[in-house]
Amino acid sequence: MSIQAAGTANAEYCFTFTPAPAGDSGQQCDPVPDLKSADPNGTAPAVFDGIGGGTTSDLMIGEAAADVTYFIVTFKDAQQLKLIPVSAGGHRYIAWAAPASMMIESVEAYLGGPYSTSGVIATAVPFAQAGQLPVFGLWHGAPGMPTVPQRETKAITGTTAGHPWKVTIYAGPWGICAVGSPGGTQCLPAVRITMTYIAGGWGGDQAGANWGFAAPGTARVRVTLSDGTSVTAPTVKVGVELTFAFWAGKNVSPTAWTTYDASGRQTGTGASVSISATKSASP
């Protein structure tokens, strides 16, 4: 695999790889990964991008921070890879390819500097589903990083205008992920969200479910939609987060929200402004 990258922060890096996953050209260009965007605290050792997620092979490429000496990728069958970052265009990159059937257990970053490690190890456990690329969010184990969140899974279901839908929320060491049916997968490297917002959804051009977080003490969220209607969703606690989900029709999007506590008292209002989530294609 070869990588060509420009040196400016807003440039693109391009890479080619052989053999290519089924249905892929073997060449891709993306904006240079922004480690600070991946982790606002600036402690993430790497940010990853992936290609594949099918039945043949997966390719992962990432940018490594300056204080990473090397990475150890551990697969669920206990096989391991050691990755040493290489420099190109002012950035440090890592990459690996593996059969899609070899799901990843964890990635460990050995910290210290480019040439020697201090003994501090940061670990990322991806959200991984069969047939989809692993999604990396939170890092744990190094100073300033969050503790590992507890694992919990809950499904939010409903039927709207004759359309049955389900959003399954997965909390764990990856942060929190939502899988919509119909829909796709979206993840946020989040721990203890304390505000209300719409985090993601699969509506817009196609009808689909949307999901979000609610501030502590919220029992219900009423969402105003762009077609003038509204929908009320109860909150569901998953891990340490309060979540909710609702259906939006084709070409309909959320525009505002109002929260209520268990007694029915209004506790907040706001515009429906979503934040970035890592999203994978629908299976």
pLDDT digits (tens, 9 = 90+) for 94-113: 988 888 788 899 999 999 98
In a domain, 142, yes or no: no
* Burial (CB count <10 Å: 0-12, 13-18, 19+), residue 276: exposed
Radius of gyration (Cα) for the chain, nearest Å?
20
Alpha carbon distance 257, 272 (integer Å): 6
What is the Cα–Cα distance from 203 to 151, expressed in whole angstroms?
28
- On whether residue 42 sits in a domain, the answer given is yes
pLDDT tens, position by position, 46-67: 988 877 655 567 788 888 999 9
- Is the sign of the CA dihedral 121, 116, 78, 73 positive or negative? positive
pLDDT value at residue 89: 75
First to last CA, the chain: 27
Q: Would you state the pLDDT for residue 274?
A: 54
Task: Please tell me whether residues 61 and 172 are part of one structural domain.
Answer: no
Over residues 176-182, the mean pLDDT reads 85
CB neighbours of residue 98 within 10 Å: 17
Q: Quick check: is 190 in a domain?
A: yes
> Over 60: is that where the pLDDT of 7 sits?
no
247 part of a folded domain = yes
The predicted structure's pLDDT at residue 8: 46
pLDDT over 50 at 74, yes or no = yes
Tell me, yes or no, whether 204 lies in a domain: yes
Could you give the CA distance from residue 65 to residue 3 in angstroms, rounded to a whole number? 17
How many domains are contained in the chain? 2
Q: Which amino acid is at 139?
A: W
Same domain, 120 and 207: no
Residue 123's pLDDT is what?
A: 95
Position 282 confidence tier, pLDDT thresholds 50, 70, 90: very low
Helix (H) or strand (E) holding 38: helix 35-38
Which DSSP letter does residue 161 get? T
The answer to whether residues 64 and 9 belong to one domain is: yes
Q: Does one domain contain both 184 and 272?
A: yes
Last residue of a domain, one of 108, 124, 140: 124
pTM score, whole prediction:
0.81
Residue 62 sits in the same domain as residue 164: no
- One domain, residues 104 and 214: no
In angstroms, rounded to a whole number, what is the distance separating the alpha carbons of residues 76 and 101? 10
Which pLDDT score, from 0 to 100, does residue 240 have? 87
Q: Which residue has the higher pLDDT, 273 or 144?
A: 144
**pLDDT above 80 (res 195):** yes
Give a yes or no: residue 138 inside a domain. no
Q: How many Å apart are CA 85 and CA 155, to the nearest integer? A: 39
Query: Does one domain contain both 90 and 165?
Result: no
**Euclidean distance between CA atoms 174 and 151, whole angstroms:** 10
Give yes or no for a contact between 177 and 155, defined as CB atoms under 8 angstroms apart.
no
271 and 157 in a common domain? yes
Q: Which domain holds residue 211?
A: 152-280
Q: Same structural domain for residues 169 and 103?
A: no
99 and 204, same domain (yes or no): no
Handedness of CA 132, 138, 139, 140 (dihedral sign): negative
Least confident of 139-148, 200-209, 253-262: 200-209
- The answer to whether residues 52 and 133 touch, using CB atoms and an 8 Å cutoff, is yes
Maximum Cα–Cα distance for the chain, whole Å?
60
Q: How confident is the model at residue 276 (pLDDT cuts 50, 70, 90)?
A: very low
Beta-carbon-side half-sphere exposure of residue 58 (alpha carbons within 13 Å): 24
Question: In percent, how much of the chain has pLDDT > 90?
Answer: 41
**Does residue 135 belong to any structural domain of this protein?**
no
pLDDT of residue 151: 92
Q: What are the pLDDT digits (tens) for 230-260? A: 999 999 999 889 999 999 888 888 999 999 9
The verdict on 156 and 119 lying in the same domain is no
Q: Do the domain assignments include residue 49? A: yes
One domain for residues 97 and 206? no
CATH number of the domain enclosing 235: 2.60.40
DSSP character for 151?
Answer: P
**Of 264 and 280, the one with more pLDDT:** 264
Q: Label residue 147 by pLDDT band (50, 70, 90).
A: confident
Q: Does residue 37 carry a pLDDT above 90? A: no
Give the integer Cα–Cα distance in Å for 111 and 45. 8
Q: Residue 227, by phi and psi: left (phi above 0), alpha (psi -120 to 50) or beta?
A: alpha
Which of 75-79, 158-162, 182-186 comes out lowest in average pLDDT? 182-186
What local confidence, expressed as pLDDT, does residue 32 receive? 60
At residue 185 the predicted structure's pLDDT band, cuts being 50, 70 and 90, is confident
